[in-house]
Amino acid sequence: AQPRALLAHVEALEMRGLPGNDVCCGFGGTFCVKYSDISNAIVTEKAEAIEGTGADLLLAGDLGCLMNMAGKLHRRGAKTRCFHAIEVLAGRADGPAIGEEA
């Protein structure tokens, strides 16, 4: 809840809820290696939920999750850009997003 309270003060940032935001993205360290089919199914559902919001940006606080979700979104051809919440709070969202070339 604390990052959301801080992000609420960022101008021009419209916060949208993500259905299932309390559900794992499927990365889980070695889980994605040991159980790749299950991991892929989980992150696919997460990507569908993200795309369903119509959001331009996905913000989160865990880099492993962000890399997993950004990778899946990229492979799906989604236009959603992924950033760590701190990047937005620091005013650094004008640079490359996770998975984009610098």
Does residue 99 lie in a domain region?
no
Q: Is residue 6 in some structural domain?
A: yes
Within a domain: residue 94? no
Whether 34 maps to a domain, the answer reads yes
What is the C-alpha end-to-end distance of the chain, expressed in Å?
31
Quote the CA–CA distance of 16 and 102 in Å, as a whole number: 27
Asked if the structure places residue 101 within a domain, the reply is no
SS3 26: coil
Is 102 domain-assigned? no
8 Å CB contact between 81 and 59: no
pLDDT in tens, 11-63: 999 999 899 999 999 999 899 999 999 999 999 999 999 999 999 999 999 99
Total domain count, the chain: 1
Q: Judge whether 66 and 82 are in contact, CB under 8 Å.
A: yes
The whole model's pTM is what?
0.91
Taken in order 34, 35, 39, 40, is the CA torsion positive or negative?
positive
Within a domain: 19: no
Q: Alpha-carbon distance 5 to 8, whole Å?
A: 5
45 in any annotated domain: yes
Domain that holds residue 75: 2-13+24-89
User: Token digits for 32?
Assistant: 């994605």
State mean pLDDT over 78-96: 95
Q: What is the dihedral of CA 46, 47, 51, 57, to 10 degrees?
A: 90
